[in-house]
Amino acid sequence: MKMMIAEIAKAVSAENDVTGYQDVELTSVAFDSRHLKPGALFVPLVGNQDGHRFIDSAIQNGAQATFWQRGHANQPTNFPVIVVADPLKALQDLSRYYLNKINPKVVAITGSNGKTTTKDMVASVLGTQFNVTKTHANFNNEIGVPVTILDMGANTEVLVVEMGMDRPGQLDFLSRLVQPDVAIITMIGEAHIEFFGTRSKIADAKVEILNGLKADGTFIYDGDEPLLSQRAAMVDFDQLTFGRNGVNDIYPTEIHDQPAQTSFVTNKWKDFTFTIPMIGEYNVNNALAAVLTGALFHLRPESIRHGLNEVHLTANRTEWLTGNQGEAILSDVYNSNPTAAKEVLHAFAETKTTGKRIAVLGDMLELGVQSKAMHESLAESLNPALTADIFLIGTDILALRDKLAAKYPASALHYYTKDQLEQLTNDLQKEIQHDDMVLLKASHGIHLETVLNNLVN
């Protein structure tokens, strides 16, 4: 973004007179005083900590102005301040104003699994023909989506925005904020089932992404999922489906797994082979959503193929790395749920290696009363003949350890509590040989990224 304070003050209905500062130009927004760029507008959010306390740090690091909650103590003097009733709402209002000002096409993406990967693929495909801005990292909530919008350059033609949710109403708000031209739902899984109770209720919350979809917008979804097909029949939008079944608008007619990539052919272009730089047939579904989006934007198949082949993936999503001892590491440590874990375990077991396969698995969080059974269910995806050693860490994953004890020897089954990351790392490093493959998969709260960092640095 690039806006004068006077324009920002008007957009957020500032409650103070900014005369004297009106011509100060702001070029970004930030809510973390430690990580902002010179020229930033600081947004002091009030949550677990009060962001207003860090205004001095923000100024020292280059903030050029700040929102300030009406009546909050210690308002800065001799520094540009924009007084608002609520800094978060002001951030959201400013993003809505800026989105209307730049007026890009908007592609909004959600789903229990695959939304980040699909976001990366869609952005890469559309980026072959358009100026694209996409969600950075996991900036996909009520704070992150506005920041994503305000990160757009003035030349942005397409905004690809990821939307997460952990409660009803969240996607309704985000969808109405961005007013997408295209809404994509990758799939319905068990993520956050602790808060929703059933997959059906998760589906209800996911289709809230349609609440802000423009009247002439397009809904793209997994046509193999009855929970989505049933709800799609109740809305009046143009619709396109992807999946494995021949009734979908696009489906794979061939899939070829390779050590570090997956190739596929579709019914849409039978003479074209698309390749994605990641393993796992489950990632083909994410790619199909990107292919449909590219076709919707009138891209030629050559451009779509190039975009998929050159996609830059967000870190720690089925990312291949090389460890200190030369081992191949499949890092998928950002998050985990039963569907995603089973899919990556299957893909990992199918990947060829001259050494042995070692799986490091941590708790899958937010599964509620079904957690024990869902952790146990991972046992069906683990075979000693394919994955030789299992390292487990967490609390609920004890259920998986007990289930695996019937088919794995005790010497191959290792368990650690959440505070034993260092011990796990040390034991794992002793076990790994240079030609082995290691999978790391857990919910982010287990912090397997700490293990990963020790293995590669």
Binding residues: 111-117
Residue ranges of the annotated binding site for ATP are 111-117
Rounded to 5°, angle at Cα 340 from 263 and 349: 60
Task: Tell me the C-alpha distance between 119 and 150, whole Å.
Answer: 18
CA distance 281 to 279: 7
Instruction: Please count the residues of the chain.
Output: 457
Q: 388 with 354: CB under 8 angstroms?
A: no
Residue 43 near residue 51, CB atoms below 8 Å? yes
Q: Please, is 234 exposed, middle or buried when counting C-beta atoms within 10 Å of its C-beta (0-12, 13-18, 19+)? A: exposed
Task: Tell me which H or E stretch contains 172.
Answer: helix 170-178
Write b or e for each residue in 304-337: b if 16 or more Cβ atoms lie within 10 A of its Cβ, otherwise e.
bbbbbeebebbebbbbbbebeeebbbbbbbbbbb
Q: Quote the CA–CA distance of 194 and 368 in Å, as a whole number.
A: 4
For residue 303, how many C-alpha atoms fall within 13 Å in the half-sphere facing its CB? 18
Contact assessment for residue 364 and residue 374, using Cβ atoms and an 8 Å cutoff: yes
Sheet holding 252-257, edge to edge: 252-257, 262-266, 273-276
Amino acid 111 reads G
